[in-house]
Amino acid sequence: MSRSIDLLEKSPNKQINIEKLLTLNQHKIRLGLTRIKKVIKRLKITHRLDIKYLTVNGTSAKNSIIQIFKSILIQHRQKYAATYSPHLISITERFEHNQKFIKLNKLKNILIKVAKYKNLTHFEKLVIAFGIFIKDLKLDWAIGEFGLFGRLDGMRALFNKPNYHIISPISWDHLNWTKTKKRNFKTLKEIVFEKTSFLKSAVYVSKQDPEVLKLIKYNLRNNRSDKFFYGSDFKIIKKNKRYFYKDNLYCFQIKSNLIGDYMYENMAPAIKLALDNNIPINTIKKGLLKVDIKGRLQIVRKGKLLRNLNSKDKLILDGAHNAQQSERLVKVMNEFKFKNKYAVISMINSKDPVSFLKPFKGKFKKLYFLDNPEQNNFIPKEKLKAVADKLKIKSEIRSSFEEVIQSSKSKTLWLATGSLYWMGYLLKKNY
């Protein structure tokens, strides 16, 4: 073990230890699976035949889909481990086993093992750490969320033979991060290819834009495993404000505390996968009722953030950060009958503020822009306001969330959005 790693073990601040371990010998985004495969082999992390592997890849709703399926597994008394990205409050949220997050000290000890290996990216280190975490666990399911890429994503090296794969909605995102020295993804066609062309296992395709769906079907043409598509093989039907799941065999009503049509659409591939694994319908229904997703269309019902709000106000947190997500989010917000609607927005600089803000025009009384004190890569609030001005959207800049909501009027809808990191910051303040 190197001297720098040995010193980290003796440091009293565990949270700092984690961050140091993740940056030690770190390499910037570097496409390719050779490095991570070598480390996985050296650590003897092998594919296990005693568990089922599920990977989820796409642009939006990956975490939501996993949370939905996980909730169903819990009701079915299945043992599972799952990894998510990013975390909202603590990095320990990235590794979950049977409703419990990994202990901070245990994660630190795992990352000490990983930190010895050079030229790994931040994400690759966490992928390998998850492999170590689940290596000896008694599991029925292991669930992995892909990062920015697909074909050359580190998760593919760890989950090299998944039983199932869910493709979440695909769109443009991460404008800066999809550009590397070797690759510059300039078209949606390239993005879809990178995320879907390599898939060989059974595939469940979420609701997609027509152009994206066409590209996915083309990329899966050589996949000889089962393929199921939203719309033709399974779907969600909304009738008289009630939601129904329907496929070629089943049709039944579903209920959830989640809000928004697209959240119910996110349930569809998880339900289909559960049915294909012989999970009873009643168990699925119970799982859907208990889904709890932080920072995604989350209605804040208690906590410090509500102190300055009126009892009739509503505060919703949603980490939407691209055009596709903001369009869907604004559509959901239109369903709330509030005369006063305000959005409080902070974004990181890898996102496109123009396409994100466009759907808000004419739908909200005013937008408020803030900097995120916990991020150094946010878009300055002044720049966001300049974008809003060009789009002719009424907006103001503020120094804090508390300063914004002090102007609350009776029966006001407050929406905080723009970044999952921003959601994490607000959730910390709420406790």
The residues spanned by each domain of the chain are 3-289, 298-430
pLDDT band at 16; cut points 50, 70, 90: very low
Q: Return the pLDDT at 180.
A: 44
Considering the four listed CATH numbers 3.40.50.300, 3.20.20.70, 3.40.1190.10, 1.25.40.10, the one that applies to the domain covering 3-289 is 3.40.1190.10
Give the pair of three-digit tokens for residue 351.
Answer: 């996102």
pLDDT band at 7; cut points 50, 70, 90: very low
Q: Is the pLDDT of residue 6 over 70?
A: no
* Burial (CB count within 10 angstroms: exposed 0-12, middle 13-18, buried 19+), residue 418: buried
CA pair distance 322, 354, nearest whole angstrom: 10
- Helix, strand, coil shares, percent, the chain, to 5: 40, 20, 45
Point out the least confidently predicted range of 147-161, 173-187, 196-210, 240-254.
173-187
Q: What is the mean pLDDT of the chain?
A: 90
Domain 3-289 identical in fold to domain 298-430: no
Interval 386-414 mean pLDDT? 90
CA pair distance 48, 52, nearest whole angstrom: 8
Helix count and strand count (H, E) for the chain: 16, 17
pLDDT digits (tens, 9 = 90+) for 86-99: 899 999 999 999 99
**Gyration radius from the chain CA atoms:** 22
CA pair distance 398, 403, nearest whole angstrom: 7
Give the pair of three-digit tokens for residue 260.
Answer: 């928004």
State percent of the chain over pLDDT 90: 77
Give pTM, 2 decimals.
0.90
Q: Return the pLDDT at 133.
A: 98
CATH class as words, domain 298-430: alpha beta
Q: Is the pLDDT of residue 270 over 50?
A: yes
pLDDT band at 119; cut points 50, 70, 90: confident
Interval 324-335 mean pLDDT? 94
- Could you give the dihedral angle defined by the CA atoms of residues 67, 68, 72 and 78, in that order, rounded to the nearest 10 degrees? -30
Q: Is the pLDDT of residue 20 over 70?
A: no
